[in-house]
Amino acid sequence: MTDTTTEAGLSSDVTEVRAQKLAKLRETVAEVYPAHFHRTLTNAELAEKYEGIEPDTLTGDIVTVAGRVYSSRNSGMFIDIHDASGKVQIFSHKDTTPEEARALLPLIDLGDIIGVTGEVRRTKRGELTVNAHEITMLTKSLLPMPEKWHGLTDIELRYRKRHLDIMTNDDSKLRFQQRSKIVSGIRRFMEDDGFMEVETPMLHSVYGGATAEPFKTHHNTLKLDMYLRIAPELFLKRTLVSGLTDKVFEINRNFRNEGVSTRHNPEFTMMECYWAYADYEDIMGLVERMFEKLALTIHGSTEFPYGDKQISFKGPFRRVPMPDAVKDVTGIDFRAIATDEEARAATRAAGFEIEDDWTWGECLAFIFEEKVEETLIQPAHVTHFPKDISPFAKEVPGEPRLVERFETYCNAWELGNAFSELNDPEEQRKRMVEQLEQAHARGESEKQLDEEFLDAIDQGMPPAGGLGIGVDRLIMLLTNAPSIRDVILFPARKNRAD
């Protein structure tokens, strides 16, 4: 094995050598790419089973293992193969390995996948090893793999060729294994709490449930323009109306035709749920219990590092109304501001350029985003959102400009968004009509009123608390990932230049 690799790939003569080896293999073995190979143990199972054997011990046990070749020493005498669970060393020698098996060694390159049957032993140096009796070529790799110890240092190349990134970067591999645990943990937590998982449409004829630019497509048979969903909210509420369950949730993808950043990807994973006969106070407790459980699952503790910060998911989290948070940081008391005009004046006095039609609530939310979010490092529930940016939430008693809505923040990121859900059909229609008029005024001419949703609300929806959690951001935090693209297996990216 004589591969030397570079990030940009190898010269054509090296790949030609591999092609020549493939041709030779086709002449000498029955099948270079067999359909099936039976192994008796994974590499991790092998390590666990023989953990206690002493150095310089032959066990007499015959096993069959398989994996990708990551390193080779002494002309193939020592080969390390990796499967998804770990590594094992393969030893080939004329005293223990038949000539037929050893004849394959010159045709094996780094990156090939092989199967090995042989005797388990531990070397004098303590390395768990399989003495090869049989070697089977399972997959001949025609391209060299990046060097294991350096991996792909070009960030964009890591995202474009994620298969190579995971193949050569243990941190990336661990992060996606942890992602799977986190998503499974969320699902298990919700089911254990009595929630039923459902699947709602990804293609919507009327887009809604959030304020965002949708991706548009066309259904040829129905002759209907459709949109990739921006949120499942309205269908989940219709499920609640049906009486199928009092606790419903969905984990799935949402799509928003907007910007890409370290915290935004056009398609992303959300967990959204609705809980009948509960309110946003109940949802706060749900979030705290879930986050604490996930931290324990990944870190064995409710405290964990993110960058140079130490985060604690130990509940209860801090709770602060948005007007109070803005006043604490900026000194601006929005509760004392009576009109939209006064709110715009206060916002401009704080040094911001804003539109002339902004409302009191839009000004409050804008100042919060610009000045307060960055201060929310430890988990906090920010409550009492403006009603004019929250069309699906109930009013705060005694404060008609505010609603029972909260967002959970940590590391200055929004992780979750929750409401005491509006279920008054007349008020719901009024707010959705107002929202539609505002959208049309902004030039969003395709925005429509979802009459099927309003019909369901007319039928009667129980009081409920609702929640949406950005799963990708939560995974970023729990796995210490600097970018959302580090936790999405194949993130959005530009096409490769020809």
> Concatenated DSSP letters for 238-249?
HHHHHTS-SEEE
The number of C-alpha atoms within 13 Å of 419 and in the hemisphere containing its C-beta is 26
| Tens-place pLDDT, residues 57-66 | 999 999 999 9
Q: How far is CA 439 from the centre of its chain?
A: 31
Local confidence band at 11 (pLDDT 50, 70, 90 cut-offs): very low
Strands 128-139 and 113-122: antiparallel
Considering the domain delimited by 14-139, tell me its CATH architecture.
Beta Barrel (2.40)
Give one word for 443, left, alpha or beta, with left for phi > 0 and alpha for psi -120 to 50: left
Better pLDDT: 218 or 2: 218
Alpha carbons 71 and 69: distance in angstroms, whole number = 6
Residue range 236-283, pLDDT digits in tens: 999 999 999 999 999 999 999 988 888 889 999 999 999 999 999 999
In a 13 Å sphere around the CA of 15, the CA atoms on its Cβ side amount to 9
**Residue ranges of the chain that CATH labels 3.30.930.10:** 170-317+378-486
Q: How far apart are CA 250 and CA 485, in angstroms?
A: 22
Report which DSSP code applies to 368.
I
62: helix, strand or coil = strand
Confidence of residue 13 (pLDDT cuts 50, 70, 90): confident
Given the structure tokens 């030609």, which residue do they identify? 16
Q: Over 50: is that where the pLDDT of 408 sits? A: yes
Parts of the chain belonging to CATH 2.40.50.140 = 14-139
The model's confidence at residue 77, banded by pLDDT at 50, 70 and 90, is very high
Check the annotation: does 414 bind a ligand. Answer: yes
- The token pair at 161 is 């060729």
pLDDT band at 155 (very low <50, low <70, confident <90, very high): confident
Residue 9 has pLDDT above 70, yes or no: no
Residue carrying structure tokens 């390995």: 97
* Cα(11)–Cα(13) distance, integer angstroms: 6
Helix (H) or strand (E) holding 298: helix 280-299
Which residues touch 19 (CB under 8 Å, ≥6 apart)?
142
74 has pLDDT over 80: yes
Please write the tens of the pLDDT for every residue from 289-348: 999 999 999 999 999 999 999 999 999 999 999 999 999 999 999 999 999 999 999 999
> Among all chains, which residue has been given the structure tokens 């921006």?
230
* CA pair distance 367, 330, nearest whole angstrom: 9
> 185: how many CB neighbours lie within 10 A of its CB?
19
pLDDT digits (tens, 9 = 90+) for 438-464: 878 877 767 788 999 999 999 999 999
Q: Tell if the pTM clears 0.75, that is, is over it.
A: yes
Counting beta carbons within 10 angstroms of the beta carbon of residue 488, is it exposed (0 to 12), middle (13 to 18) or buried (19 or more)? Answer: buried
Q: What letter does residue 455 receive in the DSSP assignment? A: H
Mean pLDDT for the chain? 93
Q: Amino acid identity of 191?
A: E
Closest CA to 171 of 191, 148, 192: 148
Q: Please indicate if the annotation marks 407 as binding a ligand.
A: yes
- Position 8 scores a pLDDT of 36
Cα(461)–Cα(422) distance, integer angstroms: 9
Distance of CA 397 to the CA centre of its chain: 37
With a CB cutoff of 8 Å and minimum separation 6, the contacts of 287 are 317, 381, 408, 416, 418, 467, 469
Measure the CA–CA gap between 93 and 120, rounded to whole angstroms.
14
Nearest residue to 276 (alpha-carbon basis) of 242, 252, 250: 242
> Dihedral angle at the C-alpha atoms of 269, 470, 244, 419, nearest 10 degrees?
-150
Distance CA 66, CA 10 (A): 26
As a whole number of Å, the CA-based R_g of the chain is 29
Which one is the CATH code of 170-317+378-486: 3.40.50.970, 2.60.40.10, 3.40.1410.10, 3.30.930.10?
3.30.930.10
Q: How far apart are CA 447 and CA 391, in angstroms?
A: 15
Strands 216-219 and 224-228, bridge-based pairing? antiparallel
